[in-house]
Amino acid sequence: MTGASLQQREWVDGFLFVGNQLALDFLNTKPILEGEPRELLPNAAALERWLIASGIVTSQKERALVRAWRNSRKGEAFVQKLIAFRERLRGAVLRLEAGLTPGDAFLAQVDVLLKEYPQRTSVSKQGSKVVLDVFFEPRKPEDVWAPIAAATAELLSEVEPFRIRQCESESCIVHFYDTSKKGSRRWCSMNICGNKLKVAAYQRRRRPV
């Protein structure tokens, strides 16, 4: 995805998409907004919206399957497990940002999830090309582990840790994968924190000493 199109979709249906990587976008579902931590995945209905906003759920059939989890005991219980995993992911990301490797227990959990919930793939002909696609089949809430575990594994194994960073704004806990050429991205988004920081720096410079 290009920088320009990414900026246009910073917020989708009330969710933040500035991470440049699905596991980081998932991590950013509990940002600090107006000084308070805000849980953006409080229930199965919110998870349904996030799955659509993130592009994991696309077809009408998938939407209908996920809609059935709303207000269901299984759906709500799964959301609690998912956000507990998200907080362990936060711990792993903070370790990567500190130059460490992720903890063994977390890595083992991701490994189990990958094996229990593998991503489904398909091949089809598109014109003269054969295309391999990953698809999501949400038959039960636990199937959400497949895209989440795959994205987490990708983050841990394929992304250069020095390009994983937390926004420099003091009150912001958004993390992102810096894909800029120079590796010099400093904040989650120009609109959310960038302008605020620039104004603060400008005011500091203008203040008489």
Q: Applying CB under 5 A, which residues contact Zn ion? A: 167, 169, 172, 174, 187-188, 193
Containing H/E element for 176?
strand 175-177
Q: Distance between CA 192 and CA 196 in Å, rounded?
A: 7
For Zn ion, the closer of residues 47 and 188 by Cβ is 188
Find, among 57, 17, 12, the residue nearest to 147 by Cα. 57
- Token pair 């219980």 in the structure block, residue: 77
Question: How far, rounded to the nearest angstrom, does the alpha carbon of residue 142 sit from its chain's CA centroid?
Answer: 17
Minimum CB distance to Zn ion smaller for 107 or for 197: 197
What tokens were used for 51? 């799955």
Residue 63 to residue 191: CA distance in whole angstroms: 31
For Zn ion, give the closer residue by CB, 28 or 145.
Answer: 28
Tell me how far, at minimum, the Cβ of 23 lies from Zn ion, in Å: 18
Q: How far is the CB of 172 from Zn ion (least distance, A)?
A: 3
- Tell me whether residue 53 or residue 188 sits nearer to Zn ion (CB atom): 188
